[in-house]
Chains A and B, each alone.
Chain A
Amino acid sequence: MRSRTAVESLLPLPLPVFHMLLSLSDGERHGYALKREILQRTQGKLNLGSGALYGSINKMLEQGLIEESEERPDPHLDDERRRYYRITSLGRKVAQAEALRLRDLVNLAEIRLGLSEPA
């Protein structure tokens, strides 16, 4: 019960946060990888500056949506060690709740705007 209110108090999620949680639900990522993935997914529309990126990461860490895993080199980039993040169970719940919220909204839009396909 308590965790549900904790989840709900975080909704709606800012768009960059939702995108980052989506990316991390697929596995651990470092900051730059997150940025590139989101850029790709949104066809270049959501380009996070590094301040916005790490500001969001900082906030998500504080809120317990993500946590740091250990530092290790990115196999695709170079030898330099990078800090990786992973999603927490709370983060996963929050992302799910946000997705459900969006689905309800889209359902409503389909009915109201006549987008639903004939049954």
Chain B
Amino acid sequence: MKNARFDSVGLYRLLLKLYPARFREEYQGPMERQFRDEYRDASTTGERTRLWTTALLDVVRQAPVQLISEVRQDLRYTVRVYRKRSMRGALAIVALALAIGGSTGVFGVVNAVLIRSLPFADPENLVEISGSPVAPTNGRPAFIAWRDASPYLRSAAVYSTSEMNLGRERGALRVKVSETSANLFEVLGAKPLLGRAFSSEEDSPGRTGVGVIGYGLWQQAFGGDRGVIGAKILVNGVPIEVIGVAPQRFDYPGGTALWVPTVFDFERIPKRGAFFFHTLGRLSIPPALAGHLFEAEVARVNPAASKEEIENRPRLIPLRERLAGPVRSAIWVLGGLVVFVLLAACANVAQLLLSRASERREEFAMRAALGASRARLIQQLVTEAIALTGCSAAIGLVVAHQVCKMASLIVPATLASQEYTILDWRVLLFAVGLTTAAGIFFGVAPVLARWVTAEDALRAHTATSGRDTLRLRWALLALQCGLTLTLAAGSLAMGRSFLRLLDVDLGFTPASAVTMNVSLQGTKRDGKAARSYYAEALQRLRAVPGVEAAGAVGYLPLVSQVQMAGSLKLDSGQVMNAIVMNGASPDYFRAIGTPFVAGSDFRSGDPNPAVIVNEAFARMTGLDERIVGRRLTAPWTSNQYEIVGVVRTARFAGPSHPGGPMAYWSIEEEAPPTLTLVARVRASGEASIAMCRDAVRSVDIGVPIYDVKTLERRLSDTLARPRFYAEATFLLGLIAVVIAVAGIYGSAARSVAQRRREMGIRMAIGATNRQVRSLVLREVLIPAAAGAGAGIVGALAGGRYIRSLIANAEPITLEVCTAAAVVLLSIAFAAAWRATTHVSSIHPAEVIRVD
């Protein structure tokens, strides 16, 4: 009986552990006693059951109430403590917020691109078959036979995407069209929102006049009208019946607005240019095994292909990898840099809390001596730490949101469903987990590691406070400086390579030029009427006030599209390979600002076939400027073309790629269906856009005019990615420097504050102000320099790794590292110098008297 009672009380004592520390400390005794009394008074099992029930309900109801009230008090205390040291607290919060924000933001992007599941059924089994053994050009039956006989494929679809004109009553649209096999939707496991997908026979030639439109196009062109099913649209002039609407966020492959089953009936929709076919497969066996079977198949069917360089060899590419694409490696690099910043911030916060812990050792020991339990003090520390990191996390989420916004502006996701967002539970979990772990670790671990008893506290005042904590703080300072130096060197190198890009002579003048694309495909102006259309469009463009010159070109620099290349023969018999053929109108070079090195422009109405080449071409022939007046033969014609001029080589793919040899034919001789018009204007390009566009539109409203942009805008689009990388690394480097400065300043200031007494004694026995000051400076700057030294080694090693991931990244040289080290250490010196100004205010007599 007695045992049972004590067991019950023991059980109740365990239950009381659910109350927060201070409440328990205060009332555990009385509550236990009361329970014992009541238990004693309860004589029957029924009464005891009732007692236990009330006790349990009581705890469930009251423990949270008490917890909230105590946390509120702890928070008030925390605010009071940190208000006194507001600068240090604010620095720590900002440092941690930047680090958490940066890491969460980058994680948001990584998550969207690499981790988040694709909007397809079983995306793990989807592969792109690069170098497929059977292409649509082999015909539908061959493709189906190959697909059905394949031992590793459950099914396969094939598609080709291109931009086409969509005819409407008012104006025309240029949209991305995927010509597919009938089963594309089925392979991806997607169902149309409205209507139906293609039936399996609808990709047989002759039956292909149907199409599924994308959600965006449905909204834009049909106002979301459900009666769209059965409507007829004109695609490059060919009538297509709408049979379905794709679900929202489904735009595979990359931004498709219209799917038509014409891949085996490729002539149905007229178009010109070069086209690529992609084969998408759904595997029936595990990917690794499928890869082996595929390799064996390629070796059998196309032995030459399997001996190609590894990157050109046919292979199965998981769809996820395919869609993560070129941003993948850069994202890993950025992610790595963010981890560095996070580590630096953590080292900073650890340093702060560690010195706080040693500062407050006395306070804590005193409170312990006055009866506060260890649990109570730890509760206070945990609350403080969580409050600190919670504040940082809240600000950090705002930072993260901005990072995601910036990233999606600059490097848009390939698919609508990959949109970057931080409002993903994984991202939130990451941020909250990171924060809480950081807070608890840095807030509590330093105190637990150096727990002091009341007796210690009484001695603490006389002992030199914690030599070993000091050493740990030095190590943290060195770590911080090392990480910062690596980041700073990285961002200097990235910044330098970006500035170099801006400085490159592009071979044309981007300022004050308006460009727009026109496409005559499927319009009344296609074919014979094209020449007159272009002549009229250019004439109207030239008539716009402020336009100095206007011309047209087949491929505009900075526009990524397929270019046609071929071999040309010079009259000396010399054959030039891989020459890009372009078309240009008279005055085009003046409009885009490409200077002539020799010779002159096309003459309008000149009956003699003429050609203009660029400097790269002239250099390739070895004739340079003497090439003017020589004759060229193209393989497709027996005509001889006279080279009338040599122009500066334009960097077509942007400043980071030198332009290759190119030859320009006059578009007056043969007018292609799609051209880019260029107008050189006197005012800024942006201001003239609308007038130029309207002038061209007025020629024929049925011809779509699209991608109307200034040339400057196109350049900045081309530079968006390198700029993003440069800005991101610069930002991260800057954050790291701020964190390091905060750390160094704090470290020196604390050193002075905590060692006033020691310094006073040193000064009393004859040390000068300067000697004492240099003592502190040495203590801070030596670890900083040591860290920087280690950082240089890290930066040199890391630079090599970054170069292997991002093409065109500038190497991190010793020179860059030295520059970064000089910058970092001068700032460190300035911060430490500033922090030690208080040394001069120490009066030995006062300090010693206080003791």
Contacts and interface: CB of A to CB of B under 8 A. Distances in A.
B37 A50 contact: no
Interface stretch (B27-35, B498-506, B724-732): B27-35
B8 to A, nearest CB: 14
Contact of B62 (A35, A51, A83): A51
Contacts of B58: 49-52
Interface string B51-66: 0001101110111011
7 nearest CB pairs, A to B: A49-B58, A51-B62, A54-B27, A51-B58, A50-B31, A32-B34, A50-B34
Interface in A31-78: 31-32, 35, 47, 49-55, 57-58, 77
User: Which of A55, A58, A83 has the most chain B CB atoms closer than 10 A to its own CB?
Assistant: A55
A93 interface: no
Contacts, number: 54
A57 to B, nearest CB: 8
Interface in B51-94: 54-55, 57-59, 61-63, 65-66
B23 interface: yes
Interface string A3-32: 000000000000000000000000000111
A97 B722 CA distance: 74
A82 interface: yes
Interface secondary structure of B, over-half rule: helix
Contacts of A47: 54
A32 B55 contact: no
A55 B65 contact: yes
A26 to B, nearest CB: 20
User: Which of A49, A55, A57, A82 has the most chain B CB atoms closer than 10 A to its own CB?
Assistant: A49
B55 A49 contact: yes
Contact of A55 (B30, B37, B66): B66
A79 interface: no
Nearest to A54: B27
Nearest to A83: B30
A117 interface: no
Nearest to B65: A55
Contacts of A30: 30
Contacts of B23: 54-55, 58
Contacts of A58: 23, 26-27, 66
Contact of B61 (A31, A52, A54): A52
A40 B772 CA distance: 74
A77 B38 CA distance: 12
Interface string B16-32: 00010001001100110
B33 A49 contact: no
Interface string B353-386: 0000000000000000000000000000000000
B316 to A, nearest CB: 64
Interface of B: 19, 23, 26-27, 30-31, 33-35, 37, 54-55, 57-59, 61-63, 65-66
A83 B32 CA distance: 13
A54 B30 contact: yes
Contact of A77 (B37, B57, B62): B37
A47 B54 CA distance: 9
Contacts of A49: 54-55, 57-59, 61-62
A50 B66 contact: no
Contacts of A32: 30, 33-34, 37
Size class of the A contact interface (CB-based, 8 Å): 10 to 19
Contacts of A77: 37
A54 to B, nearest CB: 4
A52 B550 CA distance: 86
B59 A35 contact: no
A49 B15 CA distance: 13
Nearest to B31: A50
27 contacts: A30-B30, A32-B30, A32-B33, A32-B37, A35-B34, A49-B54, A49-B61, A50-B31, A51-B31, A51-B58, A51-B59, A51-B63, A51-B66, A52-B62, A53-B34, A54-B23, A54-B30, A54-B31, A55-B23, A55-B62, A55-B66, A58-B26, A58-B66, A77-B37, A80-B33, A82-B30, A83-B30
A27 to B, nearest CB: 19
Contacts of B33: 32, 80, 82
A49 B34 CA distance: 10
B30 A31 contact: yes
Contacts of B59: 49, 51
Contacts of A57: 27
Nearest to A49: B58
Nearest to B30: A31
Contacts of B31: 50-51, 54
A58 B24 CA distance: 11
A80 B59 CA distance: 25
Contacts of A31: 30, 34
A53 B34 CA distance: 11
B772 to A, nearest CB: 47
Contacts of A50: 27, 30-31, 34-35, 55, 58
Contacts of B55: 49-50
Contacts of B62: 49, 51-52, 55
Contacts of B27: 50, 54, 57-58
Contacts of B35: 50
Nearest to A30: B30
B712 to A, nearest CB: 66
A50 B23 CA distance: 12
Contacts of B63: 51
Contacts of A35: 34
Nearest to A35: B34
B12 to A, nearest CB: 9
A57 B37 CA distance: 19
A35 B57 CA distance: 17
A69 to B, nearest CB: 14
A32 B62 CA distance: 17
Contacts of B37: 32, 77
Nearest to B62: A51
Contacts of A55: 23, 62, 65-66
Nearest to A78: B37
A53 B37 CA distance: 15
A35 B59 CA distance: 16
A107 to B, nearest CB: 34
Nearest to B73: A62
Contacts of A53: 34
Nearest to A31: B30
Interface string A78-92: 001011000000000
A47 B57 CA distance: 12
B770 to A, nearest CB: 53
A30 B37 CA distance: 13
A28 B37 CA distance: 20
User: Which of B26, B58, B59 has the most chain A CB atoms closer than 10 A to its own CB?
Assistant: B58
Nearest to B26: A58
A15 B187 CA distance: 69
A41 B690 CA distance: 87
A52 B34 CA distance: 13
Nearest to B27: A54
A80 B57 CA distance: 27
User: Which of B54, B59, B63 has the most chain A CB atoms closer than 10 A to its own CB?
Assistant: B54
Contacts of B66: 51, 55, 58
Contacts of A80: 33
Nearest to A55: B62
